[in-house]
Amino acid sequence: MDDSACPLFPALEPYRHGMLEVDARHTLYWEECGNPQGQPVLFLHGGPGGGVSPQHRRFFDPAHYRIVLFDQRGAGKSVPLGEWRDNTTPLLVADIEALRLMLGIEQWLVFGGSWGATLALAYGQAHPQRCLGFVLRGIFLCTRAEIDWFLHGMRQFFPEAHEAFLAPIPLEERGELLQAYGKRLFGDDQEISLQAARAWSRYEGSCLFLRPQEDAIASFESDAVALGIGRLEAHYFLHGGFMEEDALIRNMARIAHLPAVIVQGRYDAVCPPVSAWCLHRAWPGSVLRLIADAGHAALEPGTAAALVAATEQFRLQQRFV
């Protein structure tokens, strides 16, 4: 993204970081940026398996916010990379609480996009007393219809990307596409697993933007990104996100009293706006901001500006109006 047109706060470095061992298999990378005595805010990355980047620190005024970021199980700098075993939504929710307790934080603003919005809702509904409010982008509710759309529906807008997504799978297996990918991603042949992960991750990266950004798309083919996204997205899709169907909407009463801004690209082909609309309708106090010139990516200019505006409104202690 061209920084000359960037609506984000200036780049900054963590003032501390570390590794949190959450069980015998997984150890999570975490970092804090901004004001150590400031208002806590938790950033939840997408994917599953996407990991955090330095750009993610920049949605928040560093003079005001104590910015907490971490890589979820199997993602980014957390180890082991791409590990799907002992990796479920309830465990991720428990990890967030373990991190909060380690950092001595009582309550925080919760900020998440795509799968990060899914996890933010799951965490908030499990621990509403720990949440001050929500800033959510590119809503994904992890329903069967949304998973089917990702696997098949995006072909309507990105036929060339979908054709490449199908390419590693023999014709006779494409009727059960998710299972076919699972067989390759979680098999014993590491080279086949990596090839499948690259194909899956490249497919998602190719469909993120309203206006293609070739460098960003290419980054999805790197081993570090592909192993996290390819394996963990397929793992969570195969298990319905480890939630009952439509659970996040059915449990909205648990957080309906909390303020929320929902930022959604009008032309989001990965997570179509209907999910954001359904969430907004189930959350009377929420504000939905549809960005007219954006797809799914957080760093498209209109989306990034709306996300910064939301964190600024919260900083100023205003209702989201």
Q: Which residues are catalytic?
A: 114, 268, 296
Question: Which residue type is seen at 279?
Answer: L
Q: What would the two tokens of residue 33 be?
A: 């940026």
What's the number of CA atoms in the CB half-sphere (13 Å) around residue 211? 8
Residue with tokens 């200036």: 10
Q: Indicate the pairing of strand 27-34 with strand 65-70.
A: antiparallel
Q: Indicate the burial class of 183 (C-beta count within 10 angstroms; 0-12, 13-18, 19 or more).
A: middle
Q: What would the two tokens of residue 59 be?
A: 């949605």
240 — alpha (psi -120 to 50), left (phi > 0) or beta?
left
Tell me the sheet residues that pair with 264. Answer: 290
- Pick from 7, 4, 3: nearest CA to 294: 7
